[in-house]
Amino acid sequence: MPATAKICGLSTPETLDAAVAGGASHIGFVFFPPSPRHLSFEKAQGLAARVPGRVARVGVFVDPDDGFLDAALAAGRLDVLQLHKVTPERAAAVKARTGRETWAALAVKTRADLVPAAGFRGAADRLLYDAKAPEGAKVPGGTGLRFDWTLLDGFAHPLPWILSGGLDAGNVGEAIRVTGARLVDVSSGIESAPGIKDVDKIAAFLKAVARS
Ligand SMILES: O=C(O)c1ccccc1NCC(=O)[C@H](O)[C@H](O)COP(=O)(O)O
């Protein structure tokens, strides 16, 4: 069974349609104003309506308050909440209050960065292992950086997990082979410039995942 893919940071009908047509299992909408991929609630509403039921809509957040989450949930008709810079306590509270599948992002650079993963057992549904952004970066994700995939060798994953960070059509096959990931996530690797998705790169990425 090939791995599946989340195409993150979509903001136009054309690129959203390319992700759906190419077989993405998840699409991601970023709700974080400092990001070049930030989506207004109004735009999210229009895009969400184009997504067929077999594809999950994921909202990406950085330390959102409940009001912001509720507005995004409604506008984006979100199935999944992906939380960055989140504690297990906050993830559990969001999951309990919204009833939505909840993912906790872990920023990884060294093996020590995997230690907090165990704390999310029972608090989140999945972990997203993403590359740690450089000190002082204005966004914690979508950096195009990758981490050393061999850090996951032998790791006892406490939850189902997603591989993310610096993936593209050229390296995703190897990433899946090395880590055994069943779900991969991409943003910069399918862009022509920060925040500008490229339909050909989306298609090439999804083909590479399907070949895995
Ligand atoms: O993509 C963003 O701009 C972003 C901003 C704030 C928090 C998270 C963000 N992205 C999260 C994702 O799920 C990305 O797909 C993930 O970090 C991988 O990005 P990339 O290395 O560019 O493929």
Q: Tell the residue number behind the tokens 């297990």, with chain if given.
A: 88
pLDDT digit string, tens, across residues 90-110? 999 999 999 999 999 999 999
Distance in angstroms (rounded) separating the CA atoms of residues 212 and 209: 5
Whether this prediction's pTM lies above 0.90 is answered by: yes
What's the CA-to-centroid distance between 59 and ligand 1, angstroms? 11
pLDDT digit string, tens, across residues 115-174? 999 999 999 999 999 999 999 999 999 999 999 999 999 999 999 999 999 999 999 999
Q: ipTM score here? A: 0.98
For the chain, the residue count is 212
What's the CA-to-centroid distance between 191 and ligand 1, angstroms? 12
pLDDT of residue 162: 98
Verify whether residue 79 is a known catalytic residue: no
Helix (H, G, I), strand (E, B) or coil at 14: helix
Distance in angstroms (rounded) separating the CA atoms of residues 204 and 210: 10
Distance in angstroms (rounded) separating the CA atoms of residues 100 and 96: 8
Annotated active-site residue in 8, 79, 168, 185? 8
CATH code reported for the domain at 4-210 = 3.20.20.70
Angle of helix 13-22 relative to helix 41-48, nearest 10 degrees, comes to 40
Provide the residue ranges of all domains of the chain, joining segments of one domain with +.
4-210
What's the CA-to-centroid distance between 185 and ligand 1, angstroms? 9
Q: Is 197 in the pocket of ligand 1 (CB under 6 A)?
A: no
pLDDT of residue 33: 97
